[in-house]
């Protein structure tokens, strides 16, 4: 159930009826306000914002109150309605949010088509505005169907106006402007699932009850409806506004006697206006009427309202409107004059727009306008008209509302004069007729000449035809995060062409580390706008990288010529949009006139942050910023040069209390290596030691591949803090005097010793990782990976490896601490560790024994392995040794083969049997032992395999690689018992050991169940591997025919390629295409590869190939697969994604060939 707004009427109708008979307030909507210093009484009247004639039969006491008082106020002063409408119109046009972007993907997939059918639009085009319109449809219909021309409160205000009263409002425009704009996912889902007819019936019933409650003067019933919505909305709709209204009523009633007409829901309740005014010291008493008066029965002299002359700023037209018009400016090129006549419920709109359009293009635009306003599909259906030799057409519609207007065009100028009444009848026809007949088109002068635009702050100049205007409302905030943009537009009066230009730059806290990458991103975005590209080039001019791109646009038959010029952390954008027949020459003049200027002078000075940590030369003061998520370990100070958009950062890293390095050289090596590694392959231009005062450090410069910009970094150690001075700038500027001084003048105001950084914390660390205090243990363990242990720490490490540690409990966390210490000891390769492990082995518990075996096994000599053999025979652990120990045996097969005959009997030990099986399999494959082992221990091998089979059968996902060794031994045994066991493995649900068992059966020329082969072929992860296996044994004829196709193999290849970490959740076939690949035609199969579900779902384009053009040729030897992860899948960008994916495949294909 949606608890917001007027929709609440649908669910609260009965609740209102139940309490209607138990009123607490008198039956009246008019209340007298006296006391608290008032000389004359004022009045509070509850209204409804509807045009239903039933609510206009009001009591005689209301009219008397108006006559006796000096002023009348509604919620909003009618003079503010026009700005309200202008703001709403602009929001609707500029901020239409697609439902596709608002909803969870699963919900949109489920309800998108239903909503599209209900709202009459394609699902991808649905916006929040469409839902809002449907949601408030009952209000609009009530307004349109009501017989009165305007709301009740405005009707009464007009009566007061005609009597010469002061009129105004008790709220400001912003108090109400967002109340009907609240749309969330619950509104969308409710619209999707509700039955239209049932919903309409419920809405009508609820509205009827609300109107009846009002006619009955039942404020309690109205109160119950209003306060049954959710608390957040009720607070916005009533409570907050009531407080402000009460304050305004207090002040206005002390200036003059007033009638305040506000929505009836604002009156009752302990937070309503009656209670709030009483709290302010007023006496508020009910006023009753002796009779009700119909509107026609109350006579008041008509006072004609003044009409105003409206002039277009550019002088293109004049017109008259029955009020002061506002201006709606959109995209910097259109200034629409608008006035909303709240008394007649009519909106008036006029505009004149210079365009690069031909008549045909203009007709297409007009087609959309007449569809929206006049319920006709074609501009050509209008009645021909001409105003001052400008031809056009007139339209009239009376279908849903009364609308009439002119649409005209000549020489690129488009004119519009439209009036729309919210009423279906023609009661507003007379003023609309006067409005249209006053619309006069004027001939404007020629071109304004060339305007030399100079921007010294952004350091550029350009010639444009006339003074430009700001056009920042064109920008998409989501697309420009981290970038500040300043866009302007100039319109060419000779051709109608639009010239956009401006500067884009890194915002404070950001760098453009690679101008080439940014330019490529711009190129990809812009290229998608073209039907065909005519100009496409990149070059370097005056040290700046430049992109030029141009061609015919997809969305409109116009030429777009663009140029982007990069300069450090700023780039300039120039875009000309014009008709190719008449605008090319002027467009080229515009583009070629651009010049960069010298940077504005910026006064640098010596500065320190507020905490006085350091002092250096900088373009501005330093701002302290904490790094999100890093707590107090990392923070930065930032200074910004606004003239160049250059950021200067001082990043501070506070080292962990456990941190140490062996010496100063080791510290700097680690710091520099880590930083360079984090820069992902950037070229290091130089690396040098530096000194700032008495503090030593290092400076280096890095450059990303293809970039003109250079990152300059200086690192200095003060106490236990590492300071990193960073800026990124154009190569021509990075070493200028100011930048040099930023780095070289840097001084710490207090120099702290760093000696403690070079004192080992090994003892404290190894003690704390065993602490009973969880916080201490977690902190110590966090640093364990970073600890720079040396051989001097071996005695401490030996002692620590014998301990058991209480870990966090996660499966992948098991025995982590001890395993890490063990590997640290192994990596030192110090013989004292072997001696220590050997001495401790016999007394150790089973788990510790396996750790000590790992250490001893890392010393791969015959002497050491003989020791290990003796210990295993005399005192084997009762748990299976780790892979570390097994791998030590497999790494030195010759030595292992010498001791293996003595170890063979351990196959009878359940814990040690897996070790013997793995080692025996490798030794047999490598020829170090013969099949005598198989004969001597065939029953033991069958028992090991049998245990593994039962384990996998009970849990198909739980198996280890030892099972492959067992299957290998069974295959080599090749006797009835072994083959029978292989048959059992071939029927397992886990396809990995299942396929291996099939391979061994084929090797032994044993039959394989057709159902097993079908199950393996159905598994996308095994399909191609099964085919290759059958082909290797010349049994490809056994491959199930239903999966024997290029498409099936392509599906398998994509599935396996996408499953590096986890296999995709969905794999949807899209198409097969013949494409040019490495100079040859080949067939590729394309799939939508999906990961995750609902709001976490992400889809990418995948493909497999190259396959033969002959679809019956299923050879997969040369075929591979790849997934394009750079961008998510978008059906509308399929061509671009396909090209990028094929190019990516060609790169790795080429690498594989080499």
* Sheet bearing 595-596, strands edge to edge: 451-455, 460-464, 595-596
Sign of the torsion formed by the C-alpha atoms of 15, 20, 22 and 27: positive
- For residue 85, is pLDDT > 90? no
Structure tokens at 1081: 């035609």
308-441 has CATH 3.40.1000.10 classification: yes
Structure tokens at 798: 């030996």
Structure tokens at 970: 């069974």
Q: What are 105-146's pLDDT values in tens digits?
A: 666 666 677 777 777 777 777 776 666 556 555 455 555 666
Question: Helices in 20-80 by DSSP H: which ranges?
Answer: 60-68
The set of residues, in sequence order, having a beta carbon less than 8 Å from that of 761 and lying 6+ positions away, is 657, 658, 659, 660, 787
CA distance 4 to 829: 71
Write down the pLDDT at residue 84: 77
Q: Higher model confidence: residue 734 or residue 1153? A: 734
Structure tokens at 2: 């949606």
Q: Any idea which of 220-224, 284-288, 719-723, 842-846 has the lowest mean pLDDT?
A: 220-224
Question: Helices in 137-216 by DSSP H: which ranges?
Answer: 137-145, 152-162, 185-193, 196-215
Sign of the torsion formed by the C-alpha atoms of 415, 444, 360 and 554: negative
CA distance 93 to 146: 28
CA distance 207 to 222: 11
Write down the pLDDT at residue 137: 56
CA distance 585 to 581: 10
Q: Are 74 and 57 in contact (CB under 8 A)?
A: no
DSSP 774: H
pTM of the model: 0.73
Q: Are 736 and 776 in contact (CB under 8 A)?
A: no
Q: What are 308-337's pLDDT values in tens digits?
A: 999 998 899 999 999 999 998 876 778 899
pLDDT mean across residues, the chain: 87
Estimate to the nearest angstrom the gap between the alpha carbon of 613 and the chain centroid: 38
Write down the pLDDT at residue 131: 66
- For residue 713, is pLDDT > 90? yes
Sign of the torsion formed by the C-alpha atoms of 547, 548, 553 and 555: positive
- For residue 978, is pLDDT > 50? yes
Q: Higher model confidence: residue 300 or residue 103? A: 300
Structure tokens at 533: 């590209």
Q: Which long-range contacts (CB under 8 A, 24 or more apart) does 818-826 make?
A: 818/851, 819/851, 820/784, 820/785, 821/766, 821/797, 822/851, 822/854, 822/855, 822/884, 824/789, 824/797, 825/794, 825/797, 825/798, 825/801, 825/855, 826/854, 826/855, 826/858, 826/884
The count of C-alpha atoms lying within 13 angstroms of the C-alpha of 72, restricted to the half-sphere facing its C-beta, is 23
CA distance 1036 to 1022: 15
Write down the pLDDT at residue 100: 67
Q: Which of 662, 635, 639 lies closest to 649, judged by CA?
A: 639
Structure tokens at 31: 């209340």
3-state secondary structure of 946: helix
Q: What are 20-73's pLDDT values in tens digits?
A: 334 478 999 999 999 999 999 999 999 988 888 899 999 999 999 999 999 999
Q: Which residues are registered as beta bridge partners of 1087?
A: 1069, 1102
- pLDDT range class, residue 8, cuts 50, 70, 90: very low
Q: Higher model confidence: residue 425 or residue 624? A: 624
Residues 793-816, mean pLDDT to the nearest whole number:
79
- For residue 234, is pLDDT > 80? no
The set of residues, in sequence order, having a beta carbon less than 8 Å from that of 184 and lying 6+ positions away, is 4
Estimate to the nearest angstrom the gap between the alpha carbon of 163 and the chain centroid: 57
CA distances from 1088 to 350, 848, 1051, 1059, 1066 (A): 48, 50, 11, 14, 8
Structure tokens at 310: 């409206």
- pLDDT range class, residue 736, cuts 50, 70, 90: very high
Q: Are 657 and 757 in contact (CB under 8 A)?
A: no
- pLDDT range class, residue 226, cuts 50, 70, 90: low
Q: Which of 1116, 1120, 1108, 1117 lies closest to 1151, judged by CA?
A: 1120
Q: Any idea which of 209-213, 232-236, 303-307 has the lowest mean pLDDT?
A: 232-236
The set of residues, in sequence order, having a beta carbon less than 8 Å from that of 33 and lying 6+ positions away, is 41, 42, 43, 44, 249, 253, 277, 282, 283, 284
Secondary-structure class of domain 451-596 per CATH: alpha beta
Q: Which residue has the tokens 């009423």?
A: 423
Structure tokens at 583: 């605008």
Residues 669-696, mean pLDDT to the nearest whole number:
92
**What is the chain's length?**
1154
- C-alpha angle with apex 125: 560 to 334, nearest 5 degrees? 45
User: Is beta strand 166-171 parallel, antiparallel or unpaired with respect to 71-76?
Assistant: parallel
Q: Higher model confidence: residue 111 or residue 704? A: 704
The CA radius of gyration of the chain, in Å to the nearest whole number, is: 41
- pLDDT range class, residue 199, cuts 50, 70, 90: low
- For residue 187, is pLDDT > 60? no
For residues 1067, 1070, 1071, 1072, the Cα torsion angle rounded to the nearest 10 degrees is -20
Architecture of 605-758 per CATH? 3-Layer(aba) Sandwich (3.40)
The answer to whether the peptide bond before residue 1106 is cis (omega within 30 degrees of 0) is yes
Residues 389-400, mean pLDDT to the nearest whole number:
93
3-state secondary structure of 972: helix
């Amino acid at each position: 159930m949606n608890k917001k707004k007027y929709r609440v009427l649908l669910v609260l109708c009965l609740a209102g009826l139940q309490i209607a008979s138990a009123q607490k307030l008198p039956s009246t909507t008019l209340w007298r306000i006296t006391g608290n210093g008032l000389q004359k009484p004022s009045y509070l009247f509850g209204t409804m914002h509807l045009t239903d004639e039933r609510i206009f039969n009001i009591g005689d006491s209301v009219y008397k109150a108006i006559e006796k008082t000096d002023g009348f106020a509604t919620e909003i002063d009618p003079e503010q309605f026009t700005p309200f409408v202008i703001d709403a119109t602009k929001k609707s046009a500029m901020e239409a949010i697609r439902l596709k972007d608002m909803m969870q993907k699963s919900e949109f997939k489920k309800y998108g088509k239903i909503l599209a059918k209900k709202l009459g639009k394609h699902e991808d085009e649905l916006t929040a505005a469409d839902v809002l319109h449907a949601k408030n449809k009952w209000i609009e219909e009530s307004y349109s169907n009501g017989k009165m021309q305007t709301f009740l409160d405005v009707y009464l205000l007009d009566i007061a106006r005609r009597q010469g009263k002061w009129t105004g409002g008790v709220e400001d425009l912003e108090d109400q402007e967002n109340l009907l704009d609240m749309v969330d996912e619950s509104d969308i889902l409710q619209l999707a699932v509700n039955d239209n007819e049932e919903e309409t019936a419920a809405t009508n019933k609820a509205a009827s009850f609300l109107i009846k409650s009002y006619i009955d003067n039942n404020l309690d019933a109205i109160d119950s409806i209003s306060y049954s919505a959710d608390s957040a909305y009720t607070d916005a709709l009533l409570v907050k506004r009531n407080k402000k209204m009460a304050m305004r009523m207090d002040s206005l009633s002390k200036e003059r006697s007033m009638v305040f007409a506000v929505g009836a829901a604002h009156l009752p309740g302990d937070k309503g206006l009656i209670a709030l005014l009483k709290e302010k010291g007023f006496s508020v008493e009910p006023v009753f009427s002796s009779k009700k008066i119909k509107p026609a029965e109350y006579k008041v002299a008509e006072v004609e309202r003044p009409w105003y002359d409206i002039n277009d700023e550019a002088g293109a037209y004049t017109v008259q409107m029955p009020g002061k018009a506002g201006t709606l400016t959109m995209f910097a090129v259109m200034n629409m004059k608008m006035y909303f006549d709240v008394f007649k419920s009519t909106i008036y709109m006029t505009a004149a727009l210079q365009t690069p359009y031909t008549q045909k293009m203009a007709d297409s635009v007009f087609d959309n306008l007449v569809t929206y306003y006049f319920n006709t599909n074609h501009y050509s259906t209008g009645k021909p008209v001409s105003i001052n030799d400008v031809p056009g057409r007139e339209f009239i519609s009376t279908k849903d509302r009364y609308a009439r207007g002119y649409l005209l065009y000549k020489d690129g100028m488009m004119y519009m004069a439209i009036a729309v009444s919210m009423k279906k009848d023609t009661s507003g026809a007379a003023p609309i007729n006067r409005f249209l007949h006053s619309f006069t088109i004027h001939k404007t002068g020629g071109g304004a000449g060339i305007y030399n635009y100079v921007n010294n702050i952004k350091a550029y100049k350009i010639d444009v035809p006339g003074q430009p205007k700001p056009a920042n409302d064109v920008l998409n905030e989501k697309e420009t995060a981290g970038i500040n943009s300043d866009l302007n537009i100039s319109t060419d009066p000779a051709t109608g062409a639009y010239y956009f230009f401006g500067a884009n730059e890194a915002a404070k806290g950001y760098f453009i580390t690679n101008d080439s990458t940014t330019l490529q991103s711009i190129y990809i975005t812009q290229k998608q706008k073209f039907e065909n590209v005519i100009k496409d080039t990149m070059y370097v001019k005056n040290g700046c990288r430049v992109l030029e791109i141009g061609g015919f646009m997809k969305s409109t038959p116009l030429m777009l010529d663009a140029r982007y010029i990069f300069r450090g952390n700023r780039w300039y954008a120039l875009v000309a949009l014009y008709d190719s027949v008449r605008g090319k020459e002027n467009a080229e003049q515009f583009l070629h006139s651009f010049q960069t200027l010298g940077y504005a002078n910026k006064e640098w000075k010596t500065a320190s942050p507020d905490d006085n940590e350091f002092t250096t030369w900088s373009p501005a003061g330093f701002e302290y910023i904490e790094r999100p998520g890093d707590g107090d370990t990392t923070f930065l100070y930032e200074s910004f040069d606004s003239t160049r958009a250059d950021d200067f950062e001082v990043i501070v890293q506070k080292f962990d209390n456990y941190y140490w390095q062996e010496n100063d050289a080791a510290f700097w090596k680690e710091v520099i290596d880590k930083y360079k590694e984090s820069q992902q392959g950037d070229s290091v231009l130089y690396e040098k030691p530096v000194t700032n005062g008495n503090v030593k450090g290092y400076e280096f410069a890095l450059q990303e591949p293809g970039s003109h910009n250079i990152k300059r970094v200086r690192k200095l150690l003060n106490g236990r803090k590492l300071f990193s001075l960073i800026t990124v700038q154009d190569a021509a500027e990075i070493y200028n005097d100011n930048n040099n001084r930023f780095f070289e003048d840097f001084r710490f105001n207090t120099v702290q010793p760093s000696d403690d950084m070079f004192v080992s914390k090994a003892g404290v660390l190894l003690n704390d990782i065993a602490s009973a205090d969880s916080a201490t243990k977690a902190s110590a363990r966090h640093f364990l990976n970073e600890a720079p242990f040396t051989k001097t720490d071996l005695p401490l490490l030996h002692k620590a490896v014998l301990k058991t540690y209480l870990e966090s409990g996660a499966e992948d966390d098991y025995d982590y601490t001890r395993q890490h210490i063990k590997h640290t000891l192994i990596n030192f390769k110090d013989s004292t560790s072997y001696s220590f492990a050997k001495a401790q082995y016999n007394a150790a518990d089973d788990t510790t024994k396996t750790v000590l075996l790992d250490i001893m096994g890392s010393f791969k000599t015959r002497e050491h392995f003989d020791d290990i053999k003796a210990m295993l025979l005399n005192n084997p652990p009762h748990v299976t040794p780790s892979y570390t120990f097994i791998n030590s045996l497999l790494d030195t097969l010759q030595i292992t083969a010498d001791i293996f005959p003595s170890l063979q009997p351990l196959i009878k030990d359940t814990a040690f049997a897996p070790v013997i099986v793995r080692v025996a399999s490798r030794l047999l494959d490598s020829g170090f032992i013969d099949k005598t082992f198989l004969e001597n221990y065939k029953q033991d091998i069958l028992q090991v395999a049998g245990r593994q089979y039962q384990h996998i059968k009970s849990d198909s996902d739980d198996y280890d690689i030892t099972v492959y060794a067992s299957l290998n031994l069974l295959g080599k045994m090749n006797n009835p018992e072994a083959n029978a066991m292989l048959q059992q493995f071939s029927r397992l649900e886990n396809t990995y050991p299942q396929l291996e068992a099939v391979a061994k059966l084929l090797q032994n020329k044993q039959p394989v169940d057709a159902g097993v082969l079908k199950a393996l072929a159905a598994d996308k992860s095994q399909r191609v591997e099964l085919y290759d296996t059958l082909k290797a044994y010349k049994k490809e004829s056994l491959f199930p025919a239903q999966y024997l196709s290029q498409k099936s193999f392509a599906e398998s290849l994509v599935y396996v390629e996408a499953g590096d970490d986890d296999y995709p959740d969905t794999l949807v076939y899209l198409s097969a295409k013949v494409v040019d690949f490495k100079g040859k035609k080949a067939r590729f199969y394309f799939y939508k590869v999906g990961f995750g579900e609902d709001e976490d779902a992400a889809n990418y384009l995948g493909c497999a190939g190259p396959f033969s053009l002959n679809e019956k040729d299923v050879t997969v030897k040369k075929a591979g697969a790849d997934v394009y992860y750079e961008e998510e899948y978008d059906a509308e960008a399929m061509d671009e994604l396909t090209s990028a994916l094929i190019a990516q495949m060609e790169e790795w294909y080429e690498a594989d060939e080499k």
